[in-house]
C-alpha cells in the first residue's frame, strides 16, 4: 500500500491541520511578510492624511459641494486625480491647504487654488475668446443696427462683459466674461496687461522704426511707447509688424504708427495677456481653458 505524501493531511487524526513541508512554510512566511509591509505603508499614509485633516481648520459650508467635485467640474482633472491633489496638499481654499477629501466648499464665494493658481470654481461664470471680424462693433447692442459682439454669440444667455474694446475696423481677439471683477482688472491700465497686435503698413520699414516706437512717440494726449516690436515680413512694398503694449488708449496702435510715418491698413489683435488668438476663425468663439483663466487671474493679482 502506498504511503501518502508528507504534509498532505491523509492519515492525520481528525481535525488536526496538515503540516507544511519546509519549502511551503518558507513561501508562506515570505508572503505574510510582504502583506505586512504593504499594510504598514498604507496605514502610515492614511495616518498622515488623518493628522493633516485634523490640522486644517476649514469649516464645512452647510449645503456646500465636495471639494474634489468642484475641482473636477472646473476641468482640473478626473475626480480621482483631484483627490490625489487634495491628499498631496496642493489645494487651497481661502488661503488654507485642505487635505480632507470630504471637505465641502462654496464655489460661488470661496477662492480655490491648485498649486497656487486660482481656478474658475463657479459653474455660473463664463470665459470666452472671440475672433472679432472687421465691421463688428465692440458692444452688446447698437441702436443704429450695426453688427455687434452679441451677434457672434447667439446661444449665450448670460450677460457678458467685453474686456476692453477693439476699433470697428480692427480684427482679432476679444475676451468676454460675466466675471465682473476680472473683466474690470484686465481692462484697467493700472494692471498693465500686455496686448499684442499685427499691423499691415506701407513698406519698406526703416531700421530705426522699432527704436522709435520703443522709446516713445509723442501723441496729442501724451507719449506712447511699445513694450516690444518686430518686423514679421516685408513683401512688395508692404510690411507686417508686431507690437506689444500694456496700455489701451483709443486707437493707440494706429495713432502710434501713423505718427511714425507708417499708417495702418489692417490691424489684428493676436494676444491678451496669456491668452492667444491661435487658429480661431473670424467670428468664431471658444471657451477659455482652466489654465488660461488661472493665468488671467494671476496676471491681475486675483
117 with 297: CB under 8 angstroms? yes
Residues 134 and 169: their CA atoms lie apart, in Å, by: 4
Rg of the chain's alpha carbons, rounded to an integer? 32
Active site annotation includes 167: yes
What's the grid cell of residue 121? 470654481
What's the grid cell of residue 62? 452647510
Options 44, 54, 124, 167, the catalytic residue: 167
Q: Which of 85, 54, 53 is nearest to 68 (CA)?
A: 85
Question: Residue 299, preceding bond cis, omega within 30 degrees?
Answer: no
Label residue 247 exposed, middle or buried (CB < 10 Å: 0-12, 13-18, 19+): middle
For every residue of 16-50, DSSP letters joined together read PPPPPPHHHHHHHHHHHHHHHHHHHHHHHHHHHHH
Residues 265 and 75: their CA atoms lie apart, in Å, by: 41
List residues with catalytic annotation.
167
Amino acid at each position: 500500500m502506498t504511503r501518502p505524501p508528507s504534509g498532505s493531511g491523509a492519515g492525520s487524526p481528525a481535525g488536526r491541520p496538515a503540516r507544511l513541508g519546509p519549502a511551503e512554510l518558507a513561501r508562506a512566511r515570505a508572503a505574510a511578510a510582504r502583506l505586512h509591509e504593504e499594510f504598514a505603508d498604507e496605514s502610515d499614509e492614511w495616518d498622515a492624511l488623518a493628522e493633516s485633516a485634523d490640522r486644517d481648520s476649514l469649516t464645512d459650508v452647510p449645503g456646500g459641494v465636495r471639494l474634489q467635485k468642484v475641482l473636477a467640474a472646473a476641468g482640473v482633472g478626473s475626480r480621482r486625480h483631484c483627490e490625489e491633489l487634495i491628499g498631496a496638499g496642493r489645494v487651497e481654499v481661502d488661503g488654507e491647504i485642505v487635505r480632507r477629501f470630504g471637505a465641502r466648499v462654496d464655489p460661488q464665494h470661496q477662492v480655490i487654488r491648485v498649486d497656487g493658481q486660482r481656478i474658475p470654481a463657479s459653474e455660473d461664470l463664463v470665459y470666452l475668446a472671440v475672433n472679432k471680424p472687421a465691421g463688428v462693433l465692440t458692444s452688446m447692442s447698437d441702436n443704429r443696427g450695426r453688427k455687434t459682439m452679441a451677434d457672434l454669440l447667439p446661444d449665450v444667455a448670460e450677460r457678458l462683459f467685453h474686456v476692453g474694446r477693439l476699433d470697428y475696423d480692427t480684427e482679432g481677439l476679444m475676451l468676454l466674461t460675466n466675471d465682473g471683477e476680472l473683466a474690470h482688472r484686465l481692462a484697467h491700465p493700472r494692471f498693465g496687461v500686455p496686448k499684442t497686435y499685427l499691423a499691415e503698413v506701407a513698406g519698406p520699414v526703416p531700421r530705426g522704426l522699432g527704436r522709435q516706437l520703443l522709446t516713445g512717440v509723442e501723441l496729442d494726449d501724451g507719449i506712447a511707447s511699445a513694450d516690444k516690436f518686430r518686423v514679421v515680413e516685408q513683401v512688395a512694398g508692404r510690411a507686417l509688424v508686431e507690437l506689444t503694449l500694456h496700455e489701451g488708449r483709443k486707437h493707440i496702435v494706429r495713432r502710434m504708427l501713423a505718427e511714425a510715418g507708417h499708417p495702418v491698413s489692417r490691424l489684428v489683435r493676436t494676444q491678451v495677456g496669456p491668452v492667444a488668438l491661435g487658429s480661431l476663425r473670424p467670428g468664431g468663439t471658444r471657451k477659455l481653458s482652466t489654465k488660461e483663466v488661472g493665468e488671467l487671474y494671476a496676471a491681475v493679482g486675483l
